[in-house]
């Protein structure tokens, strides 16, 4: 369908009643918007994860539940406590209480997903009521009817063809004369059991829905007016980037800026759907458009950092001149379902980084680097694990074809110990590792030299 927009609002955009009113303004400001995808209100998923991990005693659980109630109450109060929706929210709270108790006896990843899905279920119910109060023909939609995933609870993968078929049957008609309000982050497996796409997954949900219904545009509304040249809290001269290519945005989301979930770009670029990132509080401030082609293609577009990287150095003298060693190593990572970020090799060793941080991780926030994985690696090679590293990514265009890229970058940080460099695999990035203590300074200097 042409001229059909999917608008996604993040946790801070639906944090309270006032913020939700801003979202309503944004939705109503674009007549093409017929699907609204929401995160849980800011803080709610973290609180639910605490309950789901099952470590709290009765009192601890109740204290967390009271915090969740307070967030819902703020919105309910703004809405004037309508009976039906107030009861619905009470039901969710009751459900959360019972499941938290279950988790404290014994938890598991499927139970975690059931608990944390309540955040998005509640925010969407409240927002639907708010839209109705503003006179809109809005309807609440359970995304689990379309968002089919595999059964990897906590980090489920979407099944694209099924999502498309289901959306054709369940959503296509509804969006013609309604504004459909639905949940990001959550899905269901073939048996209808609730799954989640991993923390920050709502952006990905919005892009997947956009792909499934052939949307003309996906909007990601957050608390900043677009994607910045770097984190503006760190560098005061950082500024929003008006446009980015899908390739650049994919590198940025994977290696740095936390504005977008890394997988978001995939569905959008598969179907060539432009993605807009802007601030729901200040839509007039503009934002970033992500498209296949952009007008300008600067060598340096942004610098970003990602903390909490783990560097694994895998050494084996059997690797020298041998075949298949890498296949063995990567086979072990695949078996444990762990995604590898950067890779460099020498004759007898491989250095690999994995993200131990929050973003892109499992929904329960647990580290993905397990003892089982390390033991399997130790069977075939010598393993050194180093933590406390920060990945620096420089994002741009045709980087390995531009003369002097390396010298511009490294002369700016000549006195910093650089641990690992990845350059040349992508035209759109140059990445390296530094000690966590050097990260901020490196970003500041690179911004001055490359982007100011």
Residues that bind Mg ion (CB under 5 A): 10, 200
Q: Which of 12, 45, 109, 405 binds ligand ASP (CB under 6 A)?
A: 45
**Does position 201 bind ligand ASP by CB under 6 A?**
yes
Indicate the DSSP class of residue 57: -
**Does position 390 bind ligand ASP by CB under 6 A?**
no
Say which entry of Mg ion, ligand ASP, none residue 185 contacts (CB below 5 to 8 A, set by partner kind): ligand ASP
Q: Which CB atom, from 203 or from 341, has the smaller least distance to ligand ASP?
A: 203
Rounded to whole angstroms, the Cα distance separating 99 from 273 reads: 39
x-or-dash string of contact with ligand ASP, 166-185, rule CB under 6 A: ------------------xx
* 224-283 positions binding ligand ASP, by CB under 6 A: none
**Does position 194 bind ligand ASP by CB under 6 A?**
no
Say which entry of ligand ASP, Mg ion, none residue 199 contacts (CB below 5 to 8 A, set by partner kind): ligand ASP
Q: Which CB atom, from 198 or from 439, has the smaller least distance to Mg ion?
A: 198
- Identify which of 202, 199, 201, 200 has the alpha carbon closest to the alpha carbon of residue 364: 199
CB of 40 to Mg ion, least distance (A): 11
* 5-34 positions binding ligand ASP, by CB under 6 A: 10-11
Q: Which CB atom, from 8 or from 447, has the smaller least distance to ligand ASP?
A: 8
CB-neighbour burial class of residue 163 (10 A; exposed 0-12, middle 13-18, buried 19+): buried
Query: Is residue 309 a contact partner of residue 355, using CB atoms and an 8 Å limit?
Result: yes
Say which entry of ligand ASP, Mg ion, none residue 226 contacts (CB below 5 to 8 A, set by partner kind): none
Q: Which CB atom, from 9 or from 228, has the smaller least distance to ligand ASP?
A: 9
Rounded to whole angstroms, the Cα distance separating 154 from 113 reads: 6
Pairing state of beta strands 138-141 and 349-355? unpaired
Q: Which CB atom, from 186 or from 430, has the smaller least distance to ligand ASP?
A: 186
First to last CA, the chain: 41
Q: Which CB atom, from 203 or from 376, has the smaller least distance to ligand ASP?
A: 203
Q: Which CB atom, from 207 or from 312, has the smaller least distance to ligand ASP?
A: 207
Rounded to whole angstroms, the Cα distance separating 429 from 395 reads: 5
- Among the residue ranges 199-207, 248-256, 263-271, 436-444, the one whose residues contact ligand ASP (CB under 6 A): 199-207
**289 three-class SS:** strand
Rounded to whole angstroms, the Cα distance separating 360 from 68 reads: 24
CB of 184 to ligand ASP, least distance (A): 5
Rounded to whole angstroms, the Cα distance separating 101 from 98 reads: 5
CA 363, 388, 222 angle in degrees (round to 5)? 45
CB of 39 to Mg ion, least distance (A): 6
CA 14, 141, 266 angle in degrees (round to 5)? 75
Task: With CB under 6 A as the rule, give the number of residues binding ligand ASP.
Answer: 12
Q: Which CB atom, from 200 or from 240, has the smaller least distance to Mg ion?
A: 200
**Secondary structure tally for the chain: helices H, strands E:** 14, 16
**Does position 40 bind ligand ASP by CB under 6 A?**
yes
The residues, ordered by sequence, that sit 6+ positions from 91 with a Cβ below 8 Å of its Cβ are none
Rounded to whole angstroms, the Cα distance separating 255 from 391 reads: 7
Query: Is residue 355 a contact partner of residue 262, using CB atoms and an 8 Å limit?
Result: no
Q: Which of 54, 119, 262, 278 binds ligand ASP (CB under 6 A)?
A: 119
**Does position 361 bind ligand ASP by CB under 6 A?**
no
CB of 36 to Mg ion, least distance (A): 15
Query: Is residue 118 a contact partner of residue 77, using CB atoms and an 8 Å limit?
Result: no
**Does position 200 bind ligand ASP by CB under 6 A?**
yes
Residues that bind ligand ASP (CB under 6 A): 10-11, 39-40, 45, 119, 184-185, 199-202
């Amino acid at each position: 369908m042409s001229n059909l927009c999917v608008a996604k609002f993040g946790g801070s955009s639906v944090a309270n009643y006032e913020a939700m009113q801003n979202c309503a303004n944004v939705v109503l400001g674009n007549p093409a918007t017929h699907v609204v995808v929401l995160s849980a209100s800011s803080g709610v998923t973290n609180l639910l994860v605490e309950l789901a991990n099952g470590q709290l005693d009765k009192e601890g659980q109740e204290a967390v539940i009271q915090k969740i109630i307070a967030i819902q109450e703020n919105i309910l109060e703004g809405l004037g406590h309508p009976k039906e929706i107030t009861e619905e929210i009470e039901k969710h709270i009751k459900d959360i209480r019972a499941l938290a108790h279950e988790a404290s006896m014994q938890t598991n990843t499927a139970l975690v997903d059931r608990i944390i899905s309540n955040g998005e279920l509640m925010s969407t119910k409240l927002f639907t009521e708010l839209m109705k109060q503003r006179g809109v023909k809005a309807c609440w939609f359970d995304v689990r009817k379309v968002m089919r995933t595999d059964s990897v609870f906590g980090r489920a993968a979407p099944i694209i063809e099924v999502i498309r078929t289901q959306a054709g049957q369940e959503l296509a008609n509804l969006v013609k004369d309604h504004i459909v309000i639905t949940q990001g982050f959550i899905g269901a497996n073939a048996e209808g059991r609730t799954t989640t796409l991993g923390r920050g997954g709502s952006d990905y949900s919005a892009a997947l829905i956009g792909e499934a219904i052939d949307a003309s545009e996906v909007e990601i509304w957050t608390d900043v007016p677009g994607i910045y040249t770097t984190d503006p809290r760190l560098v005061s001269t950082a500024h929003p980037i008006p446009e980015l290519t899908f390739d650049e945005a994919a590198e940025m989301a994977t290696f740095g800026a936390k504005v977008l979930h890394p997988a978001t770009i995939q569905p959008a670029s598969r179907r060539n759907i432009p993605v807009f990132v802007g601030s729901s509080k200040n839509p007039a401030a503009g934002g970033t458009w992500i498209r296949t082609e952009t007008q300008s293609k600067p060598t340096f577009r942004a610098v970003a950092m990602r903390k909490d990287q783990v560097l694994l150095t895998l050494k084996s003298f059997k690797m020298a001149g041998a075949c298949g060693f890498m296949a063995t190593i990567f086979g072990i990572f695949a078996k444990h379902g762990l995604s590898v970020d950067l890779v460099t090799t020498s004759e007898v060793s491989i250095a690999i980084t994995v993200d131990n941080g929050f973003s892109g991780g499992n929904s329960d926030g647990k580290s993905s680097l397990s003892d089982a994985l390390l033991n399997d690696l130790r069977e075939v090679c010598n393993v050194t694990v180093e933590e406390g590293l920060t990945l620096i990514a420089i994002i741009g265009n045709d980087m390995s074809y531009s003369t002097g890229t390396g010298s511009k970058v490294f002369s700016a940080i000549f006195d910093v110990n650089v641990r690992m460099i990845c350059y040349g695999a992508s035209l759109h990035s140059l990445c390296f590792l530094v000690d966590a203590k050097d990260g901020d300074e490196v970003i500041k200097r690179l911004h001055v030299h490359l982007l100011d």
